[in-house]
Amino acid sequence: MIEPLYITTPIYYVNDRPHLGHAYTTIVTDVISRFARMKKQECFFLTGTDEHGDKIVRAAKKENLSPREYVEKISSLFKNLWPELNIENSYFVRTTDQSHVEVVENILRKIYDSGDIYFAEYEGQYCFGCERFYSERELVDGKCPDHGTAPEVIKESNYFFKMSKYQQWLLDHIEKNPDFIRPERYKNEVLSFLREPLEDLCISRPKSRLKWGITLPFDEDYVTYVWFDALLNYVSALEYPDGETYKKFWPHVQHIVAKDILKPHGIYWPTMLKSAGIPLYKHLNVHGFWNVDHSKMSKSIGNVVEPLQMKNIYGTDAFRFFLIRDMVFGLDSDYSEEAMVQRINSDLANDLGNLFSRVIAMVHKYFKAVVPNVDLSLEKEMELGLKEDAFNAVSCFESSMENFSFHKAMIAVWEFINRMNKYVDVTAPWILAKQKSTRKQLEAVIFNLLEGLRIVSGLIYPVMPDTAKTMQKHLGLDPETPFYTLDLLRSWNTIVPETKLPKGISLFPRIDFEKIQKERADIAASVLAEEKLPDITLEDLSRVDLRAATVIKAEIIPRAKKLLKLEVDIGEVRTIVAGIANDYKPEDLVGKQVIVIANLKPAKLMGILSNGMLLAAVEDGKSSVATLDREVKPGTSLR
Ligand code: MSP
């Protein structure tokens, strides 16, 4: 019997709405838990929300809500999002749950009684954003490395956890268990932290400064430091210490986190577990960060990706597929909507979608929608190595999934899909269909294709469960049998002859990204047109950097009908993308002196970074570029 699996995501702070980063971690964890189902492995999948601490109090204040009202609101945004993304977690833990609070109190008392917690006065540099003290060594130019702000010096008496006591023990444990933290780069990062002196961990905050937290069971005047509280969710959710789920799943725990929270998970958590006498986790699996259009995702840049919005436009499965296919687990990756659309159109609409509808259409056309009964010897003759390639795809998929190389698992599936597309070309069923004498061969070819598609449907199940189920239905497979188990995917000839197949469908319609962009631009324009612009002051106006610019070069952008790429001289050379291709040829513009807004935040259009904006009047959809009456030095300001 295969051992069970306990897999967790971080519990997310409720100081902000869920975004792409949260969605990725939770989707990847869902993929792992569905892969467990493929192996018939019992799996407990935990996610939840982290609801105490300064950050939350400040966020609640901003919305004029009490912390309790505020956490209810945001926690439910997370909880309700996951089913929308087809995430099937076993439980959703909240650090404000009474059962969690009790476990935190219980473990704090245990550690306190063992002598690993002491009281002391401490003066240090505290970052309110991170809710922790920083040592001089950790600061970058005297500032918090995450927030870029100077920490404040705080002096207060607090409780400390003797983390340093376990420093050597943890070093030894990691060296003895090289895959305790993986991939290796993150193990090395933790080892290098551990090779420097490790300070004890301040685990309390005086109530005079922060009330929103779990009161220390041994001192009424203090609440628990949010990380000490949050990490314990991983045991509280299983009903530590006596719950059956705890006994069954804790010995098989693996955590999934991103690199931002490596230190609490790689250092605080194992030492806390050791001190509390709880066995350590099996593996800490660390992934990289999604950047958006090559920048860090942040509210101030305005590039935060909303998972629900992406799901509504592109569908859950396509969104999940892109995230899994385009990130190498452990490394950073870049997200752009355009790259996602390209991936959907090429891999999903073209390779998989076309193959599926072609094969199902042939069953309808040549066999009146009924799966042909195949002559086994001919099936072999017509198979041309397809079966072996299918099994190779299954084993490559399996080993890649085991190694957290999810993108490689998908590559293996797509190599097989492309192999099937070639098989259709080589066997040319439409030619076999022309003569009665090749009818048996035609039956064998179609049967093999249906078998291949059945295997594909199982292999995509963890990443695209809805599409997998649609394929199952359209292949006439029994809806009650889990079609995705690895043992079924390692067998051939399980498609049932004589089954009548439902009407064909298009799994992934092609997406016209230009159309989507145009619709968005139209909506934005109509909103603008309806808004009466407010009066502005001279000071407002002085924030707009208007300059005379000479066009040096102009070219069309293939695939973007309305856009021109311009190089302009504004005292320095800038690239600007302008939506004037319908009204100007590139050669009309070169040498012209135009007006640009030089300090508009750069934005990417069709993959090109546009650094400024050209002014033009637009009348009935036709643009007229603003020019200067008399030529001036490029870069001259307009006022
Ligand atoms: N509450 C803590 C975790 C406590 S766990 C005991 C926390 N919360 S968080 O809301 O900030 O979530 C951090 C996690 O969100 C990251 O570790 C990662 O899983 C996910 N991501 C947030 N931004 C991300 C990206 N830009 N890219 C990928 N994942 C990221 O830290």
CATH code of the domain covering residue 407: 1.10.730.10
Residue 573 lies in a domain: yes
Residues 145 and 261 in one domain: yes
Residues 135 and 235 in one domain: yes
CATH number of the structural domain spanning residue 154: 3.40.50.620
Report which ligand 1 atom has the smallest distance to the Cα of 290: 27
Residue 13 Cβ contacting ligand 1 at under 6 Å: yes
Residues 210 and 346 in one domain: no
Residue 12 Cβ contacting ligand 1 at under 6 Å: yes
DSSP summary character for residue 353: I
Best mutation site among 8, 12, 257 for ligand 1, i.e. most ligand atoms within 8 A of its Cβ? 12
Residues 27 and 86 in one domain: yes
Residues 440 and 485 in one domain: yes
> Which of 489, 506, 533 is a domain's end point?
489
Nearest to 212 by CA among 11, 10, 15: 15
> Which of 489, 507, 535 is a domain's end point?
489
For 28-49, b where at least 16 C-beta lie within 10 A, e where not — what string?
A: bbbbbbbbbbbbeebbbbbbbb
Return the structure tokens found at 223: 């609440």
Residue 362: CB atoms within 10 A of its CB come to: 20
Nearest to 172 by CA among 48, 98, 271, 94: 271
Instruction: Determine the structural domain holding residue 550 and report its residue range.
Output: 524-625
Residues 342 and 469 in one domain: yes
Residues 446 and 551 in one domain: no
Amino acid type, 338: E
In angstroms, rounded to a whole number, what is the distance separating the alpha carbons of residues 238 and 18? 24
pLDDT of residue 532: 65
What's the farthest any 2 CA atoms get from each other in the chain? 93
Report which ligand 1 atom has the smallest distance to the Cα of 289: 27
Amino acid type, 223: V
Residues 246 and 112 in one domain: yes
> Which of 444, 473, 489 is a domain's end point?
489
Residue 582 lies in a domain: yes
Residue 207 lies in a domain: yes
Domains held by the chain: number: 3
Catalytically active residues are: 19, 22, 127, 130, 144, 147, 296, 299
Within 8 A by CB and 6+ apart from 54, the residues are 128, 131, 205, 210, 212, 226
Residues 413 and 554 in one domain: no
Residues 476 and 536 in one domain: no
Residues 431 and 531 in one domain: no
Return the structure tokens found at 339: 């790259």
Residues 483 and 530 in one domain: no
Residue 639 lies in a domain: no
Residue 506 lies in a domain: no
Residues of the chain with pLDDT below 50 are: none
DSSP summary character for residue 255: E
Residue 250 lies in a domain: yes
What residue's CA is closest to ligand 1, atom 15?
Answer: 22
pTM: 0.84
3-state secondary structure labels for all residues of 547-594: EEEEEEEEEEECCEEEEEEEEEECCCEEEEEECCCCCCCHHHHCCCEE
Residue 312 lies in a domain: no
Amino acid type, 75: S
CA of 144 to the centre of ligand 1 (A): 18
Residue 43 lies in a domain: yes
| Phi–psi pair at 612, nearest 5 degrees | 135, 175
